[in-house]
Structure 1
């Protein structure tokens, strides 16, 4: 009986069964038309906005400053930066990252080279 409705309304078997499995009545699943591409896009955009963690304004600001979304996200979430700083501070060069890493290591461990190699005094023989 429903196969006639499915064929007449242009709904294939998979979407019909998916709807039934989600709790739709068989009649509603067979008669309600499939969403258009525009409706699917709007639903997707609505879901994205609903689940968004960071405001669109900050994501756009980061993009305008040449900061990729994943860098912005990492700075805000993992580094503990506030969103304004994460969206506006320029990207660091590899040299800057190395210098900062070495500085933090010295702050945390002290003179690590002396610990490993021992202090060596150079004497001049002349």
Structure 2
């Protein structure tokens, strides 16, 4: 690229202006991005400079931050919706994201987990029964917990069987 390529004539700025390209955009394209002059002054911008000044009063009336509005437009929202839909509070955003995250990572159906909870079975116990003990979900959610006495009797029975088999 020659040194004179960096000089942009008033005529070239005029051509760019007719193509809806701002002076700053032409300068950036030629001096920073290394575009040819012809391309810099003729290629339409991907995001044309839209004038949203008429909407700014409505934004203020509706209590919507300008940056929120511009982000909505950049994300493809309809202008009327972007101007009228109230912004969420931090708490609402947190709750929404929390619900989305729960749905995405939920391994067990919510109804089955609720059934287990109603039967006095904690989520960790339910999860252990399904993943480690290989129980089906319905059995894991409905089988009541053992009392300490039942656990002791079961252990005693298993130990006695083990000892009997050891001395045979």
State the TM-score bracket (shorter-chain normalisation): 0.5 to 0.7
CA RMSD after TM alignment: 2.5
Residue 65 of structure 1, CA deviation: 0.9
Q: Which has the larger radius of gyration?
A: 2
Distance (Å, rounded) in 1 between the aligned partners of 2:123 and 2:108: 10
- 2:155 aligned with 1:111: no
- Indicate the residue corresponding to 1:37 in structure 2: 91
1:52 is matched with which residue? 106
Question: Which of 135, 150, 162 in structure 2 is aligned with 1:81?
Answer: 135
- Between the aligned partners of 1:86 and 1:78, the Cα distance in structure 2 is 11
The TM-score with structure 2 as length reference comes to 0.44
Matched length:
84
Q: Which has the higher contact order (CA 8 A, sep 6+)?
A: 1
What's the CA shift string for 1:66-112, capped at 9, x where partnerless? Answer: 111111111111111111011001110011112222333344x2427
Unaligned runs of 5+ residues in structure 2 are: 1-66, 69-86
Give unpaired runs (5+ residues) of structure 1: 1-30, 116-126
Q: Which runs of 4+ in 1 moved over 6 A?
A: none
